[in-house]
Structure 1
């Protein structure tokens, strides 16, 4: 009897979802080509978050500035993070299609400029342009999927997208190593151009959106305050202890200004009619929990994919390709778990699924603490595989839980908030890890293997601590059936 009742509830939910989806995006949309375009777009954004990890030494040999390399990650992620809420608001106002196409165009421009960069400063600036484009692409792929597919379908589709994100993020270091060793590091960025063109063409031809448009004012003041406030904090974390002492007047001023700007941002968001990041959504338990999980997912994944290759190359003496293969073990665990995550959370609920995933991730990050300069690559790969398996079970369910609790008119904002949290986690995480590493390096531009090993173990300890917090955040997720019966695309 319970099985028939569950089936009836699912059937009723599917019918409601299909009807709502028809009114939102129109039946002319061809879901197959659109899904292919979304997967390709997701892969591009995730790939460029990590692809330069194994090419860092090659890039710095060419352009100089080893101590500045964390900015190549952070500026991309920061630009992505602060623009995500703006794009989310635009998507709920003018529709998803123009927003994602704009993002793809900006991303392609940034990739071209990065491929032509002649100095580290220029490369950092052009990475910011890439990040501005990525800020539109990543959340829009999730929002469009949420519009086109029902809850039951989303379990599989979001699993595909999560798998692509995971595979691309962890294949990035491998591909970066291939380009760095056998071609040129510039191809890391130039390869994006034909892929962007293909994704844009698929969306132009296959996605015919008929979403209602709403007249609204963009909260530019909030967007500027968020950008400046978050940027100041990232700057303080990256350069603290290196360009200036942590307790110096410069450091204190930067952190104080950043905190004040974010406080003013919060006040502005509470007063404007159409805030760029509505703070009211953070009164929902599911949004708070999923956002916190996303912060930690972003930090842990970027920490591993950024510093495991650095450890294997700088401490163990491997080549870029082997370093990429080692961290690529994440590729095996994440998509395997993500492909089954839908079945798991439909059966046991979002919270239990996220708890299982975060616990596995904690075990994996804790095992990295045992890595030494004598550890075999297989041991390091095993740790990465365990973390990847855990991430596959925690990243997708928490996002879908937040989407399921939102109506169409605010799904863009809710999804963007989740993506914003992941991007901020990645940016702040890389900044924190960079600060930890720089605090232990006497010669940042030419660190010795022993010195580098000691510094990177601080990163592994920080990763384990973040994973433990992820377990706590997962425990805050809704119970087994709190959201399964709620689906209002």
Structure 2
């Protein structure tokens, strides 16, 4: 229980700081990686610098979510943030790429706590009717960080040692911890708990196996099949464990709510649909259209502009209409953006692509905030942490699943249309290869890769239909309403 009403504005600012720190982690490191590789070597391990962080973060998000319900928000936030900052400091001292990957995995172990607990803290200190607006502000940090992160990374590697891209987290993290220590008074009831260690173990195996199979399928080949079998078997064992343990990692009562089920299905589908823009639009702009990396980056940045605007507006729309109407409007934006990408042709301007990115970003911001707020308002306070974490967890799984599905769609189309070409996309992306290519071959590759990419965008639009299904699971006319006039800051923890 929160002992006294906290300084809510300061708590919100602290959570925004923490979320910003976690959100820029991928974008700022991506910008610095060419410089890091030039210093440390190990280009063949580049993908693991990001996969190691994503893997450990995905595994620990639901674990932290449950622990924060059992042991308190602040304790788990401090624990996760300190581990994250330790990993950040060590990354700056990495002597080679293998050590950098190891320290990135340590970062991810701590990073799994930061975002879900930040969103949970906001739900604790604001009432149900206030949460849509405040969670919109917090969600908008992701859009802002997607723009600031690359710029900050480029500035750092241009003027300082690359280690600073990791060390910049330290003052931000300690500032967030200090503000929560000072302005978020929390009194957690002291009692023993039966930790679900077996459930955490089965979850770790299931998630690690699934993400490895999805993200490394092109390298693993047929080894993907035993990994998927291991993921399925571990998931079944996790389900069995959760049915018999006294304090399960995923309380089964959560899944009896249509709203919470809808939020998790929505997180999975919007995470998958988003990859049509995030992973493949820059490739289309550079490879098919022959534009510069800067032009591709500006096009993708439109998604980061649409996200915070829609996240902020979604709170007002929820209060005027309902969860279902707001989420449905976001779904329509998501599908419209994916379909508009079909209008982007090799010889066109970038207008269609940028309009599509803006709409997809707006759809992401509106649906993500709506599902999150509806889940938090539905979950009882003693389960709010794991309920919040589950929506973020499924979004990460959705991103990995979307990358695998859309990547397979592209590869199948390329194999059918250009069977004689080993890697046509790479040939178009390379400036040297593109310049030396005969005009007839360049025209053929451009045309066939464009058609194949259009199939990817259609697949992304089809995936977004699943978000509509999640939306219709939400009860009609439900909206954020305070209960019994009791502010959320007085809820039992």
Pairwise TM-score range, normalised by the shorter structure:
0.7 to 0.9
CA distance in 1 between partners of 2:34 and 2:341 (Å): 22
Match of 1:90 in 2: 67
The CA distance in 1 between the partners of 2:453 and 2:168, in whole Å, is 31
**Is 1:442 aligned with 2:419?**
no
The reply to whether residue 466 of structure 1 matches residue 463 of structure 2 is yes
Q: 1:305 to 1:80 in 2, by over 3 A?
A: same
**Deviation of residue 211 (structure 1)?**
3.3
Q: Name the TM-score, length of structure 2 as normaliser.
A: 0.83
Structure 2 counterpart of 1:15:
none
- Give the aligned partner of residue 391 of structure 1: 364
1:65 & 1:334 partners in 2: Cα distance? Answer: 35
Indicate if the aligned counterparts of 2:120 and 2:384 stay in contact, CA closer than 8 A: yes
Question: In structure 2, the residue corresponding to 1:369 is in which secondary structure?
Answer: helix
How do residues 49-68 of structure 1 correspond to structure 2 at under 5 angstroms?
49-53=26-30
Query: Which residue pairs with 1:8 in the alignment?
Result: none
Whole-angstrom CA distance in 2 between matches of 1:364 and 1:219: 42
Offset of residue 124 of structure 1: 3.4
User: Offset at 1:402?
Assistant: 0.9
Shift of 1:362: 0.9
Shift of 1:37: 0.8
1:25 aligned counterpart, secondary structure:
coil
Q: How far, CA to CA, are the matches of 1:116 and 1:295 in structure 2?
A: 36
Q: Who is 2:264 aligned against?
A: 291
- Aligned 8 A contact 1:295 1:426 in 2: yes
SS of the equivalent of 1:211 reads coil
CA distance change for structure 1 residues 483 and 30 in 2, over 3 Å: closer, same or farther? closer
Pairing 1:153–2:139 present:
no
Q: Which SS does the other structure have where 2:129 is aligned?
A: helix
Contact 2:68–2:385 (CA<8 Å) still a contact in 1? yes
Query: How much has 1:332 moved relative to structure 2?
Result: 2.2
Aligned to 1:357: 330
> Which of 478, 481, 486 is the aligned partner of 2:475?
478
Cα distance in 1 for partners of 2:262, 2:159 equals 44
Q: Does 1:45 align with 2:22?
A: yes
Distance 1:120 1:485 in 2: 51
**Is structure 2 residue 204 aligned with structure 1 residue 227?**
yes
1:325 aligns to 2:272 (yes or no)? no
The answer to whether 1:273 aligns with 2:246 is yes
Distance in structure 2 (CA, Å) of the matches to 1:418 and 1:301: 15
8 A contact 1:97–1:209 mirrored in 2: yes
Structure 1 match to 2:342: 369
Residue 174 and residue 142 in structure 1: after superposition, are their counterparts in 2 closer, same or farther (change >3 A)?
same
Q: What TM-score does the superposition give when structure 1 sets the normalisation length?
A: 0.84
Cross-structure match for 2:436: none
Cα distance in 2 for residues equivalent to 1:151 and 1:405 = 9
Partner residue in 1 for 2:214: 237
Distance 1:459 1:184, change over 3 A: farther
CA shift for structure 1 position 186 = 4.6
- Between the aligned partners of 2:271 and 2:18, the Cα distance in structure 1 is 18
SS of 1:152's equivalent? coil
* Matches of 1:368 and 1:65, distance apart in 2: 36
1:65 Cα shift? 6.3
1:265-299 CA deviation, whole Å, 9 max, x = no partner? 11111111111122331221001111111122333
Q: Residue 234 of structure 1 contacts residue 431 of structure 1 at CA under 8 Å; is this kept in 2? A: no
* Offset from partner CA, 1:204-261 (integer Å, 9 cap, x none): 22222123344212211111111111211222223324342xxx3x332222122111
- List runs of 5+ in structure 2 lacking aligned partners: 415-420, 430-441
Q: Residue in 2 aligned with 1:133?
A: 110
**Residue 411 (1) aligns with residue 396 (2):** no
Aligned equivalent of 2:167: 190
Query: How far did 1:462 drift?
Result: 3.5
Does residue 379 of the first structure (1) align with residue 379 of the second (2)? no
Match of 2:432 in 1: none
Q: Which runs of 5+ in 1 are unaligned?
A: 1-23
Q: 1:183 to 1:366 in 2, by over 3 A?
A: farther
Distance, in Å, in 2 between the alignment partners of 1:196 and 1:369 is: 42
Give the alignment partner of residue 112 of structure 1, picking from 79, 84, 89. Answer: 89
* Contact kept? 1:146, 1:154, Cα under 8 Å: yes
Q: Which residue of 2 aligns with 1:205?
A: 182
> Contact between 1:67 and 1:445, CA under 8 Å: does it hold in 2?
no
Q: Does 1:30 align with 2:7?
A: yes
Greater mean alpha carbon deviation, residues 318-327 or residues 358-367: 318-327
Hey, what's the Cα distance between the residues in 1 that align with 2:468 and 2:9? 36
Please point out which of 292, 310, 318 is paired with 1:345: 318
Partner SS, residue 209 of structure 1:
coil
The count of residues paired between Structure 1 and Structure 2 equals 462
| Secondary structure, counterpart of 2:130 in structure 1 | helix
The question of whether the paired residues in 2 share the 8 Å contact of 1:181 and 1:320 is answered with no
Deviation at residue 317 of structure 1 after TM alignment? 5.4
Q: Secondary structure at the match of 2:6?
A: coil
Aligned to 2:437: none
Alignment correspondent of 2:417: none
Seen in structure 2, the aligned counterparts of structure 1 residues 368 and 125 have a Cα distance that, compared at 3 Å, is: farther
The CA distance in 2 between the partners of 1:170 and 1:298, in whole Å, is: 19
